[in-house]
Structure 1
Amino acid sequence: MLFRQYLHMNPVAASYLFGCGSLSQGVVVDPLEEEVDFYIKEAKDLGLNIVYVIDTHLHADHVSGARKLADKTGAKYVLHSSADTTYDFTPVEDGEELMAGNTKLTFLHTPGHTPEHISIVVTDTRRGEEPWFVLTGHTLMVGDAGRTELASSIEEGANNLYNSLQKIMELEDHIEVYPGAFSGSVCGRGLSGKPSSTIGFERRFNLALQKGEKAEFVDFMTKEVPPQPENFTKMRKTNQGK
C-alpha cells in the first residue's frame, strides 16, 4: 500500500492519499480546494489513478476540494448517504465496503461532529485480512474529540458523538488512528501536535475517552468549547452546494 498524510496550516487540517500501487488505484480523503492540482500531481508521481474522493463530512472550517478533484480525475465522490447536498454523489452506508485495488475501505457512520460524518477503516488485503488503520476525520482526534455544535445542537451532537466513539473503540488497540485535524484546529480542544496515534493509546490517554458515562461525556463536551470558525455556516452551505 502507498500512503501519504498531508498536514495543512491554513486552515489546520489533514488530508490523505493512499491506495494500491500494484493495481494503480488511489483514494483521496478530505482534500482542500486549493490543493486539488497538488493531489493530482502526487497521485501521478506515485503511479496511482484516483478512483475515489471522499469527504469524511461536510466541512465547516474550509471549502472542500473533493467535487473539483473528482471532476478533474473522473473519480467517484463519496459521502455518507445522509449528507444533505444539492448535488449527486456516491452514497455509502454504515458497514459498506469499497475496494481500491487490493485496498479495502470499510465505512463507519460516526455522527456527532456532523450528522453525516463517516470514519474509514482501511485494510491492505495483500498484507492481511485485518484492518491496518482508521481515518477518523473530526470524530476521534489525537487527545480529544471533535466539537459538536456546527451542524446540530451541541447536546444532540455530543450524544451522537459518544455513541460513535464507542463504535470506533471496538477496533483493536494496534490500529493506527489518522484524524482530520491536529493542534491549532478550531474543530477540537486540547489536540495534540502529533497528527497520528493508535486506538490503544487514545483509549488510555484521550481526555474525551476518559468520560465513562454518556452524561459525563456530554457535560465534558459542552464546556470550554473553542470559538467557532469564521463564517462556518456559509462554509458548510458552500460544501453542501447551497
Structure 2
Amino acid sequence: MLFRQYLLTNPIAASYLLGCGSLSQGVVVDPLEDEVDIYIEEAKKLGMNIVYVIDTHLHADHVSGAKKLVEKTGAQYILHQSADTSYDFTPVQDGDELMAGNTKLTFLHTPGHTPEHISVVVTDTTRGDQPWFVLTGHTLMVGDAGRTELASSIEEGAKDLFESLKKLTSLEDHIEVYPGAFSGSVCGRKLSGKPSSTIGFEKRFNHALQIGNKEEFIDYMTKDVPPRPDNFKEIRKKNQGKL
C-alpha cells in the first residue's frame, strides 16, 4: 500500500492519498481546493490513477477540492448517501465496501460533526484481512472530538457523536487513527499537534472518550466551544453546490 498524509496550515487540515501501487489505483480523501494539482502530481510520481475521491463530510471550514479533482481525473466522488447536495455523487452507507486495487475501503457512518459524516476503515489485503487504519475526518481526532454545531444543533450533533465514537472505539486497539485536522483547527478543542494515533491510545487518553455517560458527554461538548469558522454557512453551502 502507498500512503501519504498532507498536513496543511491555511486552513489547518489533513488530507490523504493512498491506494494500491501494484494495480495503480489511488484514493484521495478530504482534498482542499488549492491543493488539487499536488494530489495529481503525487499520484503520477507514484504511478497511481486516482479512482476515488472521498469527502468524509461537507466541510464548513474550507472549500473542498473534490469536485475539481474529479473533473481533472475522472474519478468517482464518494459521499454518504444522506449528503444534501445539488450535484450527483456515488453514495455509500454504513458497512459498504469499495476496492482500490488490493486496498479495501470500508465505510462507517459516523454522524455528529455533521449528519452525513463518514469514516473510512482501510485494509491492505496483500498483508492481511484485518484493517490497518481508519480515516476519521472530524469525528475522532487526536486528543478530542470534533465540534457538533456547524450543520445541526449542538445538542443533536453531540448525541450522534456519542454513538459514533462508540462505533469507532469498538475497532481493535492497534488500528491507527488519521484525522482530518490537528492542533490549531477551529473544528475541535484540545487537539494534539501529533496528527495520528491509535484507537487504543485514544481510548486511554482522549478527553472526549473519558466520558461514558451520554448526558455528561452532551454537556461536555456544549462547553468551551471554539469560535466558529469565518463564513462557515457560506462555505458549507458552496461545498453542497448551493452557492
> Aligned partners of 2:141 and 2:134: how far apart in 1?
11
**Equivalent position of 1:93 in the other structure:** 93
Question: What's the offset of the Cα at 1:170?
Answer: 0.7
**Equivalent position of 2:229 in the other structure:** 229
- TM-score norm. by structure 1 comes to 1.00
> Aligned partners of 2:153 and 2:91: how far apart in 1?
25
RMSD: 0.3
Give SS of 1:144's match.
coil
Unpaired stretches in structure 1, ≥5 consecutive residues: none
Is 1:62 aligned to 2:58, yes or no? Answer: no
Q: Deviations over 1:24-79 (max 9, x none)?
A: 00000000000111100000000100000000000000000001101100000000
**Equivalent position of 1:82 in the other structure:** 82
**Equivalent position of 2:37 in the other structure:** 37
> Aligned partners of 1:167 and 1:198: how far apart in 2?
15
**Equivalent position of 1:114 in the other structure:** 114
Give SS of 2:78's match.
strand
Unpaired stretches in structure 2, ≥5 consecutive residues: none
> Aligned partners of 1:212 and 1:77: how far apart in 2?
36
Count the aligned residue pairs. 242
Question: What's the offset of the Cα at 1:133?
Answer: 0.1
> Aligned partners of 1:67 and 1:89: how far apart in 2?
10
**Equivalent position of 1:180 in the other structure:** 180
- TM-score norm. by structure 2 comes to 0.99
Determine what percentage of the aligned residue pairs are the same residue.
Answer: 81
> Aligned partners of 2:70 and 2:53: how far apart in 1?
6
Give SS of 2:17's match.
strand
Question: What's the offset of the Cα at 1:101?
Answer: 0.1
> Aligned partners of 2:7 and 2:42: how far apart in 1?
14
> Aligned partners of 1:22 and 1:170: how far apart in 2?
31
> Aligned partners of 1:190 and 1:170: how far apart in 2?
23
